[in-house]
Amino acid sequence: MVDKTSIVNAVKTALEKAPERKFQESVDITVNLRNIDMSQPRNRIDETIHLPNGLDNVRIAVLGKGEITTQAKEMGVDYIIGPEEIERLGGEPREARTVAGEYQFFLAETAMMPLVGRYLGVRLGPRGRMPMPIPPGTDIRPIVQRLRSSVKVRTKDKKVFHAKVGSATMDPEAIAENIDAVLRRIESVLESGALNIHSVYVKTTMGPAVRMI
């Protein structure tokens, strides 16, 4: 495991080397794995990781009707999708693909899951965006609050993955804490822990990559 001082220094270097842009750049890490067979499903990573310092612009969609939508509106959820809208999107593949790419997390009433699978599964499933099933009577407000400070890490069968860990306007120490949280979780699920991590790079959206491991 790389020490936090090294992470902070790498983040500072990445921010310093990033050219000035007229838009807010994100800060991302690239992790390269080694000595692990990613063709085996048990070795693949599919984790939702809570970041201590959160992220900007995490977008959430809620699928359902009734109480779950009332709570979603109260929390200012970005997109609320009722049964009719689910079915409509099923007939609009281009729009459905846009929705699948635009929202990081989906929550759906358990009663809606068969409908989601039928009409949206082909769009959401391959992207790792199938909704989290929400049983009746569940208070989704704390779930939404936590997801707004979380990042999804998914490798499929590749030995390399990327994760957003902050924005260029954040304090380097705060970004470093987010990176540390991601790496610790990844190590905990890898077969050989830190030994399965070959290298880690950090960069802004348009800036050069800086190696930290």
CA pair distance 190, 192, nearest whole angstrom: 6
CA pair distance 69, 21, nearest whole angstrom: 38
Structure tokens at 39: 């063709």
| Those residues with Cβ within 8 angstroms of residue 147's Cβ, 6 or more apart along the chain or in another chain | 48, 58, 60, 104, 105
3-class secondary structure, 71? helix
Segment 137-171, tens digit of pLDDT:
999 999 999 999 999 999 989 999 999 999 999 99
**Domain spanning 4-55+152-211, CATH class:** alpha beta
Give me the CATH topology for the region 60-147: Rossmann fold (3.40.50)
pTM assigned to the model: 0.91
Structure tokens at 49: 């990781």
CA pair distance 75, 140, nearest whole angstrom: 9
CB 86 within 8 A of CB 42: no
Q: CA geometry: angle at 128 spanning 142 and 206, to 5°? A: 90
Segment 76-129, tens digit of pLDDT:
999 999 999 999 999 999 999 999 999 999 999 999 999 999 999 999 999 999
All structural domains of the chain with their residue ranges: 4-55+152-211, 60-147
